[in-house]
Structure 1
């Protein structure tokens, strides 16, 4: 628990939703009434939540989720900040809660076998042991600049939509091995919920995902085996391994995190 007054909640759930306009309207009214800010994505395949407010406000949000059996006990990761890292409340309907498959997302996700989760402490132990495995970073290239596991394999993608093509390329180049155990990771876990089952479908023999994503790993294991900070998709931009804002800003041109009081290197190159 932190002394910071703002609680940030993030999480997701894959669950069939067939009344998206009604959910959107009810949630917008309930969250607006208590003054919450942030972003919620709704799709027929589920919900993706990133919201922030005072302890009283986020408690009201949890109570709202719990009154709907589809969202009851929704696992929402907590972190803390001095200010709300969102400028308004946005609740949007989309084809997917994270872009990957397109129109057939719910059907394709349902037919894929789920990949097992790996506790952060178990991954830390495997890294301690220098276990022979592929640690696959499923994030975008600009996120990786902020921080990563040095032992990772990176796909150099600009957007998660490019993940499948990048995996095919890495296989052709011999940078990925279907027979080697693989652990996938992303910031909060939602991208790996898509990527890991697809990798199993693609013929990779043994695929895991970090339980709760990087944020859960950093909270559980700190900076062990991790180098740098963690990029996040809100106004905090970057978090330290202790999950505290670094004070970085975001470059409008290249999306890189920029230390406070400095100019992005892409802008320096324009002079």
Structure 2
């Protein structure tokens, strides 16, 4: 589908005021229609604020990842609040010295996160909700060594950047493989549908699809971490976490203080390259995830 993109002549740069950039990320599942009109209106209004980043629109809702100065981000919030469907949208904030986007893009997709394919138009909004656990509760459960499954719903290259000490993952290359991997895990007994399961991902959007779907499949008790890993970092300091967190922008990775680690990304190998290291394929290292 058509995307509306705007190049930034300065590309990725430091804030002219010297203050850190604000990074905003969030989503909302809600029935949307007339997407090309909404796409054009949002692009025009957001372009006037000066923010850069990506908005994904689909019949099932909106996914937001933007960055700018504080005034730019405040103006972008006002744009979203002007539409009652997006009013008071929860947007996670973090800061960075460089703006991690070089364009403003508003795109129309079949799904705001790939999962259901052709059935996406109706499936997500019809599923039961899976309760969200506050990060502090998850940390407490881990402190108490409760018997539950902590399930990483992310792709394998994200897991390699860091995950919970006690987490299990499904070794998937893409989130659209999640349903197949869970079905296989049920067949081979590596997932117990009678045990409480807490799912997690970067910002929560994948768990909004994964956890309700698992309830449909007969799992008796499924939760998601409220706000994902980034919110967990902010609220708990990353307790029980090993490593860093992969993010889908030019920061590539953030640490438990939500600061960029300096890692880069090789688009040839699909590997994260740590500072001071070289890509195994010897391709020019690119920082655009």
Common fold by TM > 0.5: yes
1:170 corresponding residue in structure 2:
185
Query: How far 1:265 moved relative to its partner?
Result: 4.1
Query: How far 1:106 moved relative to its partner?
Result: 3.2
1:230 corresponding residue in structure 2:
245
SS in 2 for 1:180: coil
1:54 corresponding residue in structure 2:
69
SS in 2 for 1:114: coil
CA distance in 1, matches of 2:50, 2:125: 35
Superposed, 1:57-76 pairs within 5 Å as: 57-76=72-91
Superposed, 1:176-215 pairs within 5 Å as: 176-215=191-230
CA distance in 2, matches of 1:189, 1:51: 16
Number of aligned residue pairs: 266
2:59 equivalent to 1:44:
yes
Superposed, 1:3-18 pairs within 5 Å as: 4-18=19-33
CA distance in 2, matches of 1:188, 1:85: 16
SS in 2 for 1:236: coil
Give the one of 129, 141, 160 matched to 1:114.
129
2:102 corresponding residue in structure 1:
87
Q: Is the 8 A contact 2:30 2:125 kept in 1?
A: no
**Cα RMSD, aligned residues only:** 1.3
2:286 corresponding residue in structure 1:
none
CA distance in 2, matches of 1:214, 1:164: 21
1:242 corresponding residue in structure 2:
257
Query: How far 1:31 moved relative to its partner?
Result: 1.4
Superposed, 1:72-151 pairs within 5 Å as: 72-151=87-166
Q: Is the 8 A contact 1:4 1:80 kept in 2?
A: no
CA distance in 2, matches of 1:148, 1:265: 23
CA distance in 1, matches of 2:273, 2:56: 27
SS in 1 for 2:118: coil
Query: How far 1:171 moved relative to its partner?
Result: 1.4
Unpaired runs of 5+ residues, structure 1, are none
Q: Is the 8 A contact 1:229 1:241 kept in 2?
A: yes
CA distance in 1, matches of 2:151, 2:281: 27
SS in 2 for 1:103: helix
Give the one of 255, 263, 266 matched to 2:270.
255
CA distance in 1, matches of 2:214, 2:201: 15
- TM-score norm. by structure 2 comes to 0.90
Query: How far 1:36 moved relative to its partner?
Result: 1.3
Give the one of 36, 44, 56 matched to 1:29.
44
CA distance in 2, matches of 1:224, 1:256: 26
Query: How far 1:107 moved relative to its partner?
Result: 1.2
- TM-score norm. by structure 1 comes to 0.95
Unpaired runs of 5+ residues, structure 2, are 1-17, 284-289
CA distance in 2, matches of 1:161, 1:221: 30
Q: Is the 8 A contact 1:4 1:81 kept in 2?
A: no
Q: Is the 8 A contact 1:150 1:225 kept in 2?
A: yes
Q: Is the 8 A contact 1:145 1:256 kept in 2?
A: no
CA distance in 1, matches of 2:144, 2:263: 34
